[in-house]
Structure 1
Amino acid sequence: MRSATELLRELNSVDESPGIEAKRASAAGKSVLETVIAFANEPALGGGYLLLGVERAGPGQAYHAVGVTDPDKLQSDLASQCASQRNQPLRPRMRVESIDGRAVLVVFVAEVALGDKPVYLRATGLPRGAFRRIGSTDQRCTDDDLWALRRIDEPQPGFDAKVVEDCSLDELDPDAVAEYRRLRRLVNPQAEELGYSDDDLLEALLAARRVGGVLKPTVAGVLLFGRPLTLRRLFPTAEVSYVRVVGTEWVADPERRFAATLDVRKGALLAFRQIAAAIEDDLPRGFYLPPGAMQSLQEPLVPRQAFREALANAIIHRSYRFNQPTMVVRYSDRIEFINTGCSLKPVAELGRTGPAQRNPVLAAVFRDVEIAEAKGSGIRTIRRVCEAHGCPAPEFESRREAGTFVTVLRLPVIEAVIAPMPAHVPEPGDYPDQSHQPEPDSHQLPPDLLAQLPKPGTRPSRARIRELIILLCRQTPLSAAELARLLGRREQKPFVRDYLTPMVREALLTYVIPDQASHPAQRYAASHLQPAATIAAEAEQSVLRPE
């Protein structure tokens, strides 16, 4: 057992830590009891020390002894409460010592055995009566935490390997199984499991297990390969939603909060493919010339590997016990990936290898097809890729009270990636008759698209003009002046007002320079998304359509 002087020296060297807590407490109050429980519960911590009768005057100042008024009574009260107020008795080791002539109490709480976890306050019950030691803080347990306390070295399968009794293999989607085979073949054409039958493959992946000789899907099997109707029946919120928000705040404009949304309820691999494509299609692009190349390439401003890894993490590490979909929210300046289930380890330890996996079967399949990185390296990959591309550092937040985990990828400043601007860029209205506007690069457009452009003297319908705008902007981002000239519109301002601005609001077009609609270098790119109402109707039809 360490001495009070040694503990105080460490506190003043590195501050409070997972294994040491300093408190002024002169009584065995609520805060002391919560720390005792947290030390007893936290996996692999080995217990921790409480140093009572010590405080510091303010942030950054040294800890010093203030003493406890009645150390004998404090020991007695703490021992009594540890024995009677918890679901099982705890026996902390305690010793009174003197620092600078003041009595302090050193308390060591040992970590309890795996089979005895969780320790909790009987009067409060589970899960809120149990606590974990997260960094230098005591945190109330969630349902996931209770599972994690018993997860270390647990021999039985986790939640995603449990058999779903009310389900049969007929409710799995052959297309989802075929998608696994396709992806696995790309990684390793000689993989042994590619020669298995579907039933044997599912069993090998732990997507199905035998119960009384009958092969039944597991939770992971349903999540990976379930038909849409199966997922709706068994896991109503096991979907991935991509939401396009106007501006930088969730409720910046309550009347026009969402530009568009895309809800995907499919097997996890199919859902990943569709949402990843939606993210990439909706991102602004930068241009670069690879070494030795003769032609420039367009790449998303957020590195492809970073957002794909963030999406994979959100799908495979979410808790499927909670009724909330996985969300990807695209603001004008960032993308947020939100999944239920807070981190099973402190945020400071993210990126380090460790045993904390919420859905090991799901994660193993994603690693098989190289969508997700190896254990513990996904966060490191996101950080490394963002740094290599000169992007803002990713942000990770575990929101324990809300029971969610959030990854934030911020878009770099657009001026940092576009080509140098000329001394003067024509402003809208500089050429009111369009006769002196620079020629758009129409020679780069496909001949069949050029043939569809309006002929002089014709007046296409409004719907046809909108359709042509999308077709043109799918080829390459274009300015308002270029679009107006290609479509034979003499007046640029009415064209922007009547077509381009409404189409941005409907998420049919996106600004290449977000949040600066009138930027002189502004261009428009086509978005694959449709208005939320249209997508919702189509999604409902697809769900109701027979398999």
Structure 2
Amino acid sequence: MTMIDLTEEQAAPRIKALLVARESRTLDFKRVSGKMVGKALEAICAFANTEGGILALGVADEKQGSGATRFYGIEENPEALDELIRKVRTQFHPPIETISFVRLPCTLRDGKAGNVVLVRTAKSDKVHSIVDDGTWTRLDAGNREMSAAEITELSYRRGVRSAESEPMVVPLELLETETWRSFVSARGLKSGTFAEQLQKIGLAAKVGSEVQPTRAAVLLFADEPGSLLAAHGSRADIRLMVYDGKQVVPGATPNLRKTPKTIRGPLIEQIDTAVKTVLDELAQGLTLSGSGFKTKHLYPERVVKEAIVNAVIHRDYRLNRDIFIRLFDDRIEVESPGVFPGNITPANVDKAGSKARNPLVALNLREFPIAPNIDAGEGVKMMFAEMASAMLYPPQYRQNTEAAVESVTVTLLNLERPTVWDEVSHWIDTHGDIANRQLREITGMDTLEASRMLRTWVAQGVLIALPSASRQQASYTKPMRSAEQADSLSNAPDNELPKQ
């Protein structure tokens, strides 16, 4: 594993950030000692199993001092650092492939020249353990060993395990439907009984003396999979809500334009019906609330279809919640139960694409006579490209982990983006945030115009305001970046390092 050495100039902004940084869910500090190695392995394991993070070695935590008095340096025990680097290669199961070491020259607490090391661990797409030392998760400012139940839950959330392959206590005859016969005709299965055919393609398993269908088989072929799964504490339908206005108005009388529609049936029918129904609604146009004018929907049809297909294919079918499609005057929201699988985040989904949480479902949907468009990980990238070509804002992804049932929502804004947005977006991707001054420099706007534009972007949901001491110091970033590790500690060149 290679140590990357930065110059003093490259290290300066990171050292400045470390002087004021505090331990958090994505940042930990350790002085370098013999006892440090075990604790450092726990922190690296915990970062890989949560959202990723940075371990700063040679730096004491904020309780032990402030400013440069916290900089003890790796020179305090270089042998311990060497031991850590050796053990990082051998002590994780499975191996963590997303670790980089970056050495920063600095001035230590005693005034001498020295170095600190940043160990950067990205969120992993697997669940990792330390050999003979358990599986760890990251808290707000510390690490905790996970229980067996928590490890199982994380395996499902990461997509290492999938509910689709679990056998279900559902009578096989409820799956021998017209949908199954259509599938068989296209798939070319000719020999064997119905149960044997399901087993051949991995959609049934023998449990004792009984052949039971997998959850994927129920989803693909049952006439009412949602109703069958409801008896087992989960759901599988789609709910379509059409709202009057730009927000959900709570109260006894919700601001719905029409009665909510539940879309049921095997997944192939759900996708077809949901796409057709949504496109029909958009084709009719919506009369803008309070204006009397009809809005023209600019979303590319392929993008709408892909958002719905992704929700159906990648949702977590363990969870007791339906997919929700919400149409507003200015946007479409598609909410899918479950969090992003693997190491996908709202900030990297445009580059990472998608990971199949339910590969059995995705594989077998392709076998129907008229299959939905499943782009093998390229569909999300297509959505961003199509929205850009249509001069619309990019799809906005957010992950809701605070609700009783976790979910991912993609929002498609029916708003033409100003040309300056591309420059602002690039600035944020490069620098982490933007303030009024930078927007003025980019656009030539005056202070009031820049303030008005920033407020508009916040109201539209494409930017969020970061905490600040005053309005004059306000800065803004994309919602998809808000949970990411501070860029001042992880900027290029170390962000672009290859896997070691």
Give the TM-score range, shorter chain: 0.5 to 0.7
In 2: Cα distance, 1:244 partner to 1:232 partner: 25
For residues 378 and 232 of structure 1, do their structure 2 counterparts lie closer, same or farther at Cα, with a shift above 3 Å needed? Answer: same
Q: Is the 8 A contact 1:324 1:340 kept in 2?
A: yes
Deviation, structure 1 residue 242:
0.6
Deviation, structure 1 residue 145:
3.8
2:106 aligned with 1:99, yes or no? yes
Structure 2 unmatched ranges of 5 or more: 30-38, 62-66, 85-90, 93-98, 286-295, 417-500
Alignment correspondent of 2:204? 208
- TM score, norm. by length of structure 1: 0.51
In 2: Cα distance, 1:22 partner to 1:208 partner: 54
Q: Is the 8 A contact 1:245 1:330 kept in 2?
A: yes
Aligned counterpart in structure 2 of residue 232 of structure 1, from 225, 230, 237: 230
Alignment correspondent of 2:428? none
In 2: Cα distance, 1:129 partner to 1:258 partner: 46
Deviation, structure 1 residue 320:
1.9
For residues 196 and 264 of structure 1, do their structure 2 counterparts lie closer, same or farther at Cα, with a shift above 3 Å needed? Answer: farther
Residue identity over aligned pairs, in percent, reads 17
Deviations 1:320-357 (A, max 9, x none): 22222111011121110001212121233324467943
- TM score, norm. by length of structure 2: 0.56
In 2: Cα distance, 1:29 partner to 1:304 partner: 39
Alignment correspondent of 2:44? 39
Q: Is the 8 A contact 1:173 1:227 kept in 2?
A: no
In 2: Cα distance, 1:242 partner to 1:392 partner: 23
Range with bigger deviation, 389-398 or 99-108: 99-108
Alignment correspondent of 1:381? 382
For residues 379 and 108 of structure 1, do their structure 2 counterparts lie closer, same or farther at Cα, with a shift above 3 Å needed? Answer: closer
In 1: Cα distance, 2:190 partner to 2:205 partner: 19
The one of the two structures with greater contact order (alpha-carbon pairs below 8 A, sep at least 6) is 2
For residues 43 and 196 of structure 1, do their structure 2 counterparts lie closer, same or farther at Cα, with a shift above 3 Å needed? Answer: farther
- Aligned AA (1:406): T
Structure 1 unmatched ranges of 5 or more: 56-64, 83-88, 131-140, 152-156, 186-190, 287-298, 414-547
2:122 aligned with 1:119, yes or no? no
Alignment correspondent of 1:244? 242
In 1: Cα distance, 2:22 partner to 2:333 partner: 45
Alignment correspondent of 2:400? 399
Deviations 1:66-119 (A, max 9, x none): 24266699989x99xx9xxxxxx99x9999996233565436588999454973
Alignment correspondent of 1:362? 361
In 2: Cα distance, 1:382 partner to 1:214 partner: 44
* Other structure's SS at 2:241 match: strand
Deviation, structure 1 residue 384:
2.7
Deviation, structure 1 residue 172:
2.1
Alignment correspondent of 1:273? 272
For residues 6 and 390 of structure 1, do their structure 2 counterparts lie closer, same or farther at Cα, with a shift above 3 Å needed? Answer: closer
- Aligned AA (1:386): M
Q: Is the 8 A contact 1:245 1:329 kept in 2?
A: yes
Aligned counterpart in structure 2 of residue 223 of structure 1, from 214, 219, 222: 219
In 2: Cα distance, 1:401 partner to 1:74 partner: 41
Deviation, structure 1 residue 222:
1.6
For residues 346 and 45 of structure 1, do their structure 2 counterparts lie closer, same or farther at Cα, with a shift above 3 Å needed? Answer: closer
* Other structure's SS at 1:347 match: coil
State how many pairs are aligned: 354
Alignment correspondent of 1:509? none
Alignment correspondent of 2:476? none
2:176 aligned with 1:160, yes or no? no
In 2: Cα distance, 1:332 partner to 1:29 partner: 37
In 2: Cα distance, 1:346 partner to 1:113 partner: 16
Q: Is the 8 A contact 1:326 1:340 kept in 2?
A: yes
In 2: Cα distance, 1:142 partner to 1:251 partner: 39
Q: Is the 8 A contact 2:183 2:367 kept in 1?
A: no
In 2: Cα distance, 1:397 partner to 1:269 partner: 26
2:66 aligned with 1:50, yes or no? no
Q: Is the 8 A contact 1:242 1:263 kept in 2?
A: yes
Query: Which structure has the bigger radius of gyration?
Result: 1
Deviation, structure 1 residue 202:
3.0
In 1: Cα distance, 2:127 partner to 2:324 partner: 38
For residues 390 and 177 of structure 1, do their structure 2 counterparts lie closer, same or farther at Cα, with a shift above 3 Å needed? Answer: farther
Note the aligned Cα RMSD (angstroms).
Answer: 5.2
In 1: Cα distance, 2:138 partner to 2:394 partner: 43
For residues 72 and 32 of structure 1, do their structure 2 counterparts lie closer, same or farther at Cα, with a shift above 3 Å needed? Answer: same
In 2: Cα distance, 1:338 partner to 1:29 partner: 26
- Aligned AA (2:411): V
Deviation, structure 1 residue 302:
2.6
